């Protein structure tokens, strides 16, 4: 890991469990500035700081910029989930659904597939489709169950009307 990432991680570690405020944003921005305005990782970190501070309106354009500049697979998945969450929080549920469904479809084996499913379920519930959201959530849990795979899968599809 490089020094830049270690310093970013140190800011996040210091903020863990506490309030992300203007000081955290300022510290992240200062480190991100070292990379310049066209660095995807820097834009992603700046977006995350604003998102964590409860400023999704400021985070959305930075997430979009980071994705547009190109992130590695790990950060791309995180940025997509976080952007979908911010869009949902801002009332753009359709935008959140489109984004998260595209990520799910493009990367079905992602290590973030459970987080993608959770975000998908939340967005579906916010869109007025709680049954579909419940189906998505149950299907995400099935691989983690020691038994009942067949029955829980059937129940999830039944509840969601086969839309899960």
- For residues 90 and 106, is the Cβ–Cβ distance under 8 A? no
Q: Minimal CA–CA distance to 81: which of 101, 104, 100?
A: 100
pLDDT higher than threshold 80 for residue 78:
yes
Look at residue 27 in the predicted model and tell me its pLDDT: 96
pLDDT confidence tier of residue 96, bands split at 50, 70 and 90? very high
The domains of the chain are located at 3-92
- For residues 116 and 77, is the Cβ–Cβ distance under 8 A? yes
Look at residue 17 in the predicted model and tell me its pLDDT: 82
The pTM (predicted TM-score) of the whole model is: 0.92
Q: Which two tokens stand for residue 131?
A: 């049954």
pLDDT higher than threshold 70 for residue 162:
no
Q: Minimal CA–CA distance to 128: which of 90, 84, 93, 83?
A: 93
Neighbours of 152 (CB within 10 A): 15
pLDDT higher than threshold 60 for residue 1:
no
Fold of 3-92: 1.25.40
Segment 40-49 mean pLDDT = 98
pLDDT higher than threshold 60 for residue 107:
yes
């Amino acid at each position: 890991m490089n020094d830049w990432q270690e310093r970013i991680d140190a800011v996040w570690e210091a903020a863990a469990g506490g309030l992300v405020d203007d000081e955290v944003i300022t510290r992240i921005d200062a480190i991100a500035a070292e990379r310049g305005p066209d660095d995807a990782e820097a834009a992603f970190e700046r977006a995350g700081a604003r998102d964590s501070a409860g400023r999704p309106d400021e985070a959305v354009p930075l997430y979009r910029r980071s994705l547009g500049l190109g992130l590695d697979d790990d950060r791309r998945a995180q940025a997509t989930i976080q952007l979908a969450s911010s869009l949902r929080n801002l009332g753009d549920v359709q935008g959140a659904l489109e984004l998260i469904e595209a990520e799910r479809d493009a990367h079905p084996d992602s290590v973030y597939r459970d987080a993608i499913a959770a975000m998908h379920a939340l967005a579906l519930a916010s869109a007025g489709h709680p049954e579909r959201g419940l189906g998505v959530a149950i299907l995400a849990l099935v691989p983690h169950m020691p038994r009942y795979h067949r029955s829980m899968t059937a129940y999830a599809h039944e509840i969601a009307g086969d839309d899960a």
